[in-house]
Amino acid sequence: MVANIRSGSSPGGALYYNKEKVDKDEAEVLLWQKMLEPFDKHGRLDIDACMDSFWPYLEANRRTTNTVFHVSLDPSPEDKLTDEQLGKIACEYMERMGYGKQPYIVFKHKDISREHLHIVSLRVDEQGRKLPHDFEARRSMEILRDLERKYGLHPSVKGQGLTDREGLRKVNYSEGNVKQQISSVARSCLRNYKCSSYGEFRTLLELLNVSVEERTGTVDGRDYAGVIYGAMTDDGYGIGTPFKSSRIGKDVGYKALQKYYERSKSALKQDGTLDRLRQTVKDAMSPDNTREEFRQLLKADGIDVVFRINPVGRIYGATFIDHNAGIVANGSLLGKEFSANVFNELYPAPKQAQQVAEQHVEQKHEVQNHAANPISGIVDTVLDLADTRAYEEQQRQMQQRRKKRRHRS
């Protein structure tokens, strides 16, 4: 079972989303707790009635911005559960997450191949105090694993779609056949994902322990362009000897990749292609989460986020990999609200880690400055020159001795 937790400033949005599904007969109300009857006199879901149950909590709210707790619970397609079982799972999940005494409403959705739940509740109690949310994503996953064992459910973790696609498995150098492993990964990525740039393609491959480097230049007046592939460890270090793309085939070479980037650009420009990814990332963005919790929220929805971080812990880039839709997109492609600066302000590096990193950088600069000191540089140059001349003189004397020996013989 997979949980996707979202936050929001008002429960109205989450309620309207579920009401639309109910009105289309794609969902139904399964149960509600500590709430008034959520239906009007005609038996239709009434948003105002639901809000009447939430207003006392919202009015007591002190200073919490994101007051909404909206979670979807997705069982494995192999699990066939009754409404009673789904209700018990929903209630136990909310109880263990700390929302057992909160007002909440549970919807059963049936708009996709498997039934799943949506639960709408509040993050503030009756006194307006925010409920504890530390390590929310981690606690959620631990609870789900326990529920799977308790109810005999199939374990399923969205975001591991990597292994569900043919050929997509992390390269393991110790297993041998490295070229074959890399070939399989590269070709599978080209088939299953859209990357509009070399940087995005590289980020995707590195997630699978494959390095890629495009090389261009001029030799003897002739332009050249090529691609080098290699294996990486789980820690991100290169291992073994990299090799040219020609050892795999033209379909993973430089020209083929340029055409692939252009095709991907065209596909990603089509209306609505990036909407789901944008919305999912936006829903997971919250000042109440840490960087790691943000990662886990997206991972639960089949999305990996790769932050590029400088030596002092500042985020200077972000790439999102949607395994379900087969999309790899830098934050800049999604829009200004997903830029590196936004994420750096939302998820700054811990102060202690930042101070340690800054000290390290300062020490490094001191060493570099010392090395760049004009006086020390001149001294080093003179010493190097003296060593060179001494070596040349030594070689000259040795040559003269050899000549004398040859003449004597």
Q: In sequence order, which residues have a C-beta less than 8 Å from that of residue 97 and are 6 or more positions away?
A: 136, 139, 140, 143
| Topology of the domain comprising 2-151 | BirA Bifunctional Protein; domain 2 (3.30.930)
Q: How far apart are CA 143 and CA 333, in angstroms?
A: 35
- Reduced to 3 states (helix: H, G, I; strand: E, B; else coil), residue 282 is helix
Q: In sequence order, which residues have a C-beta less than 8 Å from that of residue 8 and are 6 or more positions away?
A: 14, 66, 67, 68, 70, 283
Q: What is residue 381's predicted lDDT score, i.e. its pLDDT?
A: 43
Token representation of residue 97: 């997450």
Q: How far apart are CA 185 and CA 169, in angstroms?
A: 7
CA 219 → CA 16, 224, 225, 346, distances in Å? 63, 7, 11, 47
Q: How far apart are CA 206 and CA 152, in angstroms?
A: 36
pLDDT in tens, the chain (409 residues): 888 888 878 898 889 889 988 998 989 999 999 999 999 999 999 999 999 999 999 999 988 888 999 999 988 878 889 999 999 999 999 999 999 999 999 999 986 667 899 999 999 999 999 998 878 888 888 899 899 989 998 875 444 444 444 446 899 999 999 999 999 999 989 988 999 999 999 999 999 999 999 999 888 888 889 999 999 998 889 999 999 999 999 999 999 999 999 999 999 998 888 988 999 899 889 887 888 889 888 887 889 999 999 888 889 999 999 988 889 999 999 999 999 999 999 998 876 555 554 555 455 445 444 444 444 444 444 444 444 455 455 556 666 766 666 666 6
Please, which contacts does 403-407 make with residues 24 or more away whose CB atoms are closer than 8 Å?
Answer: none
Q: In sequence order, which residues have a C-beta less than 8 Å from that of residue 92 and are 6 or more positions away?
A: 147
Q: How far apart are CA 369 and CA 372, in angstroms?
A: 5
In the chain, domain spans: 2-151, 161-268, 275-354, 375-409
Report the predicted TM-score, pTM, of the whole model to 2 decimal places. Answer: 0.53
Q: What is residue 388's predicted lDDT score, i.e. its pLDDT?
A: 45
Q: What is residue 370's predicted lDDT score, i.e. its pLDDT?
A: 46
Contact 49, 29 (CB under 8 A): no
Contact 190, 251 (CB under 8 A): yes
Q: What are the respective helix, strand and coil percentages of the chain, to the nearest 5?
A: 50, 20, 30
In 3D space, the residue among 127, 133, 21 whose CA is nearest the CA of residue 68 turns out to be 133
Q: What is residue 378's predicted lDDT score, i.e. its pLDDT?
A: 43
Q: What is residue 312's predicted lDDT score, i.e. its pLDDT?
A: 82
The structure tokens 């975001």 sit at: 159
Token representation of residue 297: 């929220």
Q: How far apart are CA 122 and CA 132, in angstroms?
A: 12
- Beta strand pairing call for 327-330 and 315-322: antiparallel
